[in-house]
């Protein structure tokens, strides 16, 4: 249920932390950019953070805790950012994963998804040619246009044109994602909500408390599913806003501090 801004902003995540410190089992589902770490200059910048890696290593070694990082980044990036065994890493919203033991799995066939993206890519590239403040990201499984550094009017115009390019394409197996100065096309199965559902059903851990922490509208898909399964959602946002989440933390720094609190000895 979407909570209004005032109600969502008044809940104390410390109360949840106190309860989880006594839990026998905890499953953490964590977004990366904007949640565990501040955003990189571009989506293709890979800037490993040793303090974060150490925190995730300690969480993964706690027998009460299982960790999954579910990111919009491609899996190869997440593997470089979190070079750890024992953590499930999900890239491109979960359509590609590396399981804790190191085995990689995919939720769709790449050779069926990629051909359409190959048709769209040169058209989007031509649309952005010579324009300042735009960035075309190719994740393999999806294509995204980032316009965060472009002027508002130009960003709106260009993204609208990019959507128009998609109008005559066969999009039955794809979904178009929007956002603040952002557009992405990828397979329907690249969905954090469906990823959480798949992981909980395929790798059950009876009695575990489920917690998802994320910062944007792609994470809202996961918040809804985590509630279906009796879990708790935490939004990362400096200001309260309408959300499916139960609690709010203000920044990646606050997320890390909160996660540290799970490691307090009982």
pTM greater than 0.85 (yes/no): yes
* DSSP line for the chain: -PBPHHHHHH--HHHHHHHHTT-S-EEEEE--BTTTBPPPSSTT-----HHHHHHHHHHHHSTTEEEEEE-SS-HHHHHHH---SSSEEEEGGGTEEE-TTS-EEESS-HHHHHHHHHHHHHHHHHHHTT-TT-EEEE-SS-EEEE-TTS-HHHHHHHHHHHHHHHTTS--TTEEEE--TTEEEEEETT--HHHHHHHHHHHS--TTPEEEEEE-SHHHHHHHHHHHHTT-EEEEE-SS---BS-SEEE-SHHHHHHHHHHTTS--
Query: Is CATH 3.30.70.100 correct for 111-187?
Result: no
Top-tier CATH class for 5-107+190-261:
alpha beta
Report the C-alpha gap between 37 and 21 in whole angstroms.
23
Topology alike, domains 5-107+190-261 and 111-187: no
Residue 264's pLDDT is 80
Name every residue whose Cβ is closer than 8 Å to that of residue 2 and which is 6 or more positions away in sequence. Answer: 242, 243, 244
Of 110, 117, 39, 41, the C-alpha closest to 72 is: 39
CA quadruple 169, 171, 177, 178: dihedral sign: positive
Please, which pLDDT band fits residue 213 given cuts at 50, 70 and 90? very high
User: Would you list the domain boundaries of the chain?
Assistant: 5-107+190-261, 111-187
Residue 168's pLDDT is 84
- Look at strands 182-187 and 247-249 and give their pairing: unpaired
Residue 263's pLDDT is 95
Residue 5, pLDDT above cutoff 60: no
Please, which pLDDT band fits residue 215 given cuts at 50, 70 and 90? very high
């Amino acid at each position: 249920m979407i909570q209004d801004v005032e109600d969502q902003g008044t809940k104390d995540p410390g109360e949840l932390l106190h309860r989880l410190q006594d839990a026998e089992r905890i499953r953490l589902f964590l977004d990366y950019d904007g949640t565990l770490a501040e955003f990189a200059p571009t989506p293709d910048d890979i800037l490993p953070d040793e303090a974060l890696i150490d925190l995730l290593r300690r969480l993964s070694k706690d027998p009460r805790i299982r960790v999954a990082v579910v990111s919009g980044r491609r899996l190869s990036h997440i593997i470089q950012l979190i070079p750890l065994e024992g953590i499930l890493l999900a890239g491109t919203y979960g359509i590609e994963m590396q399981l804790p033991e190191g085995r990689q799995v995919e939720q769709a066939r790449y050779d069926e998804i990629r051909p359409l993206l190959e048709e769209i890519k040169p058209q989007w590239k031509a649309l952005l040619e010579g324009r300042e403040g735009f960035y075309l990201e190719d994740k393999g499984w999806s294509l995204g246009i980032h316009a965060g550094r472009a002027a508002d009017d130009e960003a709106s115009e260009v993204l609208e044109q990019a959507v128009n390019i998609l109008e005559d394409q066969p999009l039955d197996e794809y979904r178009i994602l929007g956002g603040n100065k952002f557009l992405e096309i990828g397979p329907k199965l690249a969905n954090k909500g469906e990823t959480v559902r798949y992981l909980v059903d395929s790798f059950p851990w009876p009695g575990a408390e489920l917690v998802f922490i994320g910062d944007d509208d792609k994470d809202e898909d996961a918040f809804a599913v985590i509630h279906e399964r009796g879990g708790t959602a935490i939004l990362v946002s400096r200001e309260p806003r309408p959300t499916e989440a139960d609690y709010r933390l203000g920044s990646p720094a606050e997320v890390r501090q909160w996660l540290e609190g799970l490691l307090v000895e009982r």
